[in-house]
Amino acid sequence: MKKMCTAISTMLCVTLILFMFAGCSGNSTGKSTEDATSNAPSSEYKYTGSAPISKEPLTISWLCTNNSTEEYDFENMAWVQEILKRANVKLDIELIDSSAYSDSVSPRLAAGIDLPDVVYVINKDTDMSYINAGLFIELTDLYNNYGYNIKTAYKNTPLVKSQLTTHDGKMYYVPAIDFTSDYCTALSINAQWLNKVSMDKPTTTDEYYKVLKAFKEADINGNGKDDEVPAFMRLHLLKMMSASWGIDLTRGYFINENGKAECSYASEKYLEFLSYWNKLFKEKLLNNDFATTNHDIQTNLFSNNLIGSLYHYPGNNTTYSKLIDTEFDLNSDPLIMVPLEPLTGPFGDKQYW
């Protein structure tokens, strides 16, 4: 989901580039050139880098895949609809299941027929076969003249621009850019569980332990069984929690107080990290299958309201809240799973990687 959501928001921010995609598939799509351009803004309207992108409503057809693990209802996503409203754009989206996307779309691309204005290209067209076949229009001048926001993104991430520029200096694609500083993993907690044990959001690793302990002892779901999972983690995400200990177990090194690179796994801080999570493991505050668990298990636990906290993308908290309560309404109900600020660790570190 992350990459596709970013692609949607990035393309809408690029604004005028979008409507110029109209007709890029050629007349073989069944659309005439006149039909494909009938939605273009009036030539009297001058885009200046802010919404809306056209005076008259603009409809763009879009072919892409949904998330491989969750099905998202874009038509009812408040943030998507707000972006479209501000841009004065309507999207006609054709969503194809991720497992069938390549097999379904590749023949259409190869034949150059039955294509919309915008196509999500899964293989990045590394051999430029689609470009050489004339399927997509060149965007170089559009980027330069109208790509106010995308040019800023390219300035901050020049590698992305270089990867999308052909050997002769031309550009044909709009990228999905993952701004990790804006969309990082974080610790989230079940607000309803916090209310039941009358505790505030934890701010330190010690407070987090006390909250998890309370979750375990409270029999939150009231079934008399010891089935709650106070902290649900997957191994690669558990490693990211090392930020609160001032080390980075993903990269394998960190910069110490002397400005020197130090191996995370040879640090005394790593021993403290292991000691902490070993305690949670032994007391069954941490799911004991963290090294082998998967998304399906996570979804099943959420569906039965058995997860008290987890480390993942906070943008997924709406999905998790919906799994916990099928009647959850994003537009009117407070989130059930809520993100936490970075926990302050035993050495005073407070950060997310």
> Tokens 């963290």 belong to which residue?
290
**What pTM does this model have?**
0.58
Of all residues in the chain, what percent carry a pLDDT higher than 70?
82
pLDDT tens per residue, range 77-95: 777 888 899 999 999 989 8
Tell me: pLDDT of 26 over 90: no
At residue 130, the pLDDT reads 87
Mean pLDDT, rounded, for 326-340: 91
Helices (H), the chain: 2-14, 16-19, 33-37, 78-87, 98-111, 129-132, 140-146, 148-156, 158-163, 191-196, 205-218, 235-238, 268-282, 295-303, 317-324
At residue 14, the pLDDT reads 33
Give the span between the Cα atoms of 299 and 290, in whole angstroms.
Answer: 14
Is 309 part of any domain?
A: yes
Give the chain's mean pLDDT: 82
CATH number of the domain encompassing residue 271: 3.40.190.10
Dihedral angle at the C-alpha atoms of 249, 67, 142, 169, nearest 10 degrees?
50
Between 190 and 54, the more confident residue is 190
Looking at the fold, whether 97 and 210 belong to one and the same domain comes out as: no
Confidence band of 162 (pLDDT split at 50, 70, 90): confident
At residue 39, the pLDDT reads 43
At residue 2, the pLDDT reads 35
Confidence band of 178 (pLDDT split at 50, 70, 90): low
Half-sphere exposure in the Cβ direction for 84 (13 Å, CA): 18
Tell me: pLDDT of 24 over 70: no
Looking at the fold, whether 13 and 65 belong to one and the same domain comes out as: yes
Looking at the fold, whether 138 and 191 belong to one and the same domain comes out as: no
Is 7 part of any domain?
A: yes
Lowest mean pLDDT among 33-47, 201-215, 307-321: 33-47
- Report yes or no: 178 and 4 within 8 Å, Cβ to Cβ: no
Is 248 part of any domain?
A: yes
pLDDT tens per residue, range 131-153: 888 888 899 998 888 888 888 88
Is 168 part of any domain?
A: no
Mean pLDDT, rounded, for 181-198: 88
Q: How far is CA 26 from CA 116, 117, 266, 309, 317, in A?
A: 10, 10, 60, 50, 41
Looking at the fold, whether 152 and 193 belong to one and the same domain comes out as: no
Segments forming the whole domain that contains residue 153: 2-163
Is 23 part of any domain?
A: yes
